Amino acid sequence: MKTLSGLSLQEIEKITDELGVTKFRARQIHNWIYLKSVTEIDEMTDLSIKFREELKKVAKITDIKIKVKQVSSDGTIKYLLEFPDGECVETVLMRFDNRANLTACVSSQVGCAVNCSFCATGKRGFIRNLSYQEIIEQVLTIQRDTGLKVTNVVFMGQGEPLLNLDNVLKAMEIFNENFQIGARRLTLSTSGIVPQIRRLADLDMQSTLALSLHASNHDTRLKLMPIEGKYNMDELHSALKYYVEKTGRRITIEYLLIKDLNDTVESAKQLAAYLKDIKCNINLIPYNPTEKNDYKRPSNNAIMKFKYLMEHAGKKVTVRLERGADIDAACGQLRGKV
């Protein structure tokens, strides 16, 4: 039994070829799935009943179930989605009222092996990779449920996308071609898997690469992110330079601000020096509390001061708005709680 959601037109054509009908049927099925968001083959009313029966024998539309849906007071919606093997991931839809953008924050893995000390997802350990179809189904599910069209996708849910890169790249290609979401409206966020950053550079990726740096020196980063023991900040630095050179694209540096740990004037100075020769914007993320650690969110004053220092160093800086914190949908709070 094949799942149709997430397949490219060519892949659907393979199915219609096997059923001995024209390629035009594939185009119709493709439209029903991507433009009309149907969930049942019987809703594809421009296909003959006979053909629908044949199709139902070999394929179904979706494999995913909405297990829990929570709506935050700021309009953010968090879904807990379940796959047929019982594993769950979270997907978040964020709307910013002043803009027409609807951003889906998708998961790329169940759990995560990187195990950063501040992140709730890492606490679960790594369970499995998601297939490209499972990544795409997250966005299709949101569109079906809300009747809205997602305009941006960020890989900032559960998992490390660069450790599941083949599926992530395939999903991005399909977002691009089948959802008409431009490359620049797709963002990959990584904890810093150096060889894969170089691979993306060689592919001349035109989507946005966001790096979770979170520290201004090796010791602090190692404390926050064990991955620093494998790929340290020096190696990262040269990979980032290589990426910018190859793609011409500006990188987004994500920097988690934790009170008294990496939010000091000295940290800001070190960070400015580290990023001096890297074309980047900085996104400051005030820490969102999760269970089981005693990190604290800095005061607004400390956040603004850090922002000022980075701007003074010539960088464009944004402070990430916290979305959906009342439903644990903010960054780092996702962990597939059931």
Q: Which residues are catalytic?
A: 90, 331
In the set 119, 162, 200, 303, which binds ligand SF4 (CB under 6 A)?
119
Answer yes or no whether residue 324 interacts with ligand SF4 by CB under 6 A: no
In the set 4, 102, 105, 116, which binds ligand SF4 (CB under 6 A)?
116
Answer yes or no whether residue 331 interacts with ligand SAH by CB under 6 A: yes
Q: How far is the CB of 85 from ligand SF4 (least distance, A)?
A: 20
User: Which residues have CB under 8 Å from 300's CB, separation 6+?
Assistant: none
- Between 207 and 290, name the residue whose CB sits nearer to ligand SAH: 290
Q: How far is the CB of 109 from ligand SF4 (least distance, A)?
A: 8
- The one-character DSSP state at 321 is P
Answer yes or no whether residue 191 interacts with ligand SF4 by CB under 6 A: yes
- The one-character DSSP state at 226 is G
Q: Find out whether 165 and 130 touch, Cβ atoms under 8 Å.
A: no
Answer yes or no whether residue 189 interacts with ligand SAH by CB under 6 A: yes
Answer yes or no whether residue 190 interacts with ligand SAH by CB under 6 A: yes
Answer yes or no whether residue 112 interacts with ligand SF4 by CB under 6 A: yes
Total residues in contact with ligand SAH, by rule CB under 6 A: 17
First to last CA, the chain: 28
Total residues in contact with ligand SF4, by rule CB under 6 A: 12
Per CB under 6 A, which of residues 251..310 are in contact with ligand SAH?
254, 256, 285, 287-288, 290
Q: Find out whether 336 and 329 touch, Cβ atoms under 8 Å.
A: no
C-alpha to C-alpha distance for 133 and 62, rounded to whole angstroms: 10
C-alpha to C-alpha distance for 337 and 329, rounded to whole angstroms: 11
Q: How far is the CB of 285 from ligand SF4 (least distance, A)?
A: 10
- Between 38 and 116, name the residue whose CB sits nearer to ligand SAH: 116
Q: How far is the CB of 47 from ligand SF4 (least distance, A)?
A: 41
Out of ligand SF4, ligand SAH, none, which partner does residue 254 contact, by CB within 5 to 8 A per kind? ligand SAH
User: Which residues have CB under 8 Å from 214's CB, separation 6+?
Assistant: 116, 118, 221, 224, 225, 254, 255, 256, 262
Q: How far is the CB of 146 from ligand SAH (least distance, A)?
A: 22
Question: Where in 72-228 does DSSP place strands (E)?
Answer: 77-82, 88-95, 102-105, 109-111, 126-129, 152-155, 186-190, 208-212
Three-class SS of 246-292: HHCCCEEEEEEECCCCCCCHHHHHHHHHHHCCCCEEEEEEECCCCCC
Answer yes or no whether residue 121 interacts with ligand SF4 by CB under 6 A: yes
Out of ligand SF4, ligand SAH, none, which partner does residue 122 contact, by CB within 5 to 8 A per kind? ligand SF4
Answer yes or no whether residue 119 interacts with ligand SAH by CB under 6 A: yes
What is the DSSP annotation of 29-83? Answer: HHHHHHTS--SSGGG-TTS-HHHHHHHHHHEES---EEEEEEE-TTS-EEEEEE-
Residue 337: CB atoms within 10 Å: 12
Per CB under 6 A, which of residues 193..252 are in contact with ligand SF4?
212
Residue 325 burial (CB < 10 Å; 0-12/13-18/19+)?
Answer: middle
Q: How far is the CB of 113 from ligand SAH (least distance, A)?
A: 10
Q: Find out whether 317 and 275 touch, Cβ atoms under 8 Å.
A: no
Q: Find out whether 216 and 267 touch, Cβ atoms under 8 Å.
A: yes
Q: How far is the CB of 108 from ligand SF4 (least distance, A)?
A: 9
Per CB under 6 A, which of residues 123..162 are in contact with ligand SF4?
158-160
Residue 224 burial (CB < 10 Å; 0-12/13-18/19+)?
Answer: buried
In the set 31, 39, 70, 115, which binds ligand SF4 (CB under 6 A)?
115
- The residue ranges that bind ligand SF4 (CB under 6 A) are 112, 114-116, 119, 121-122, 158-160, 191, 212
User: Site residues (CB under 6 A) for ligand SAH?
Assistant: 112, 118-119, 156, 160, 189-191, 212, 254, 256, 285, 287-288, 290, 331-332
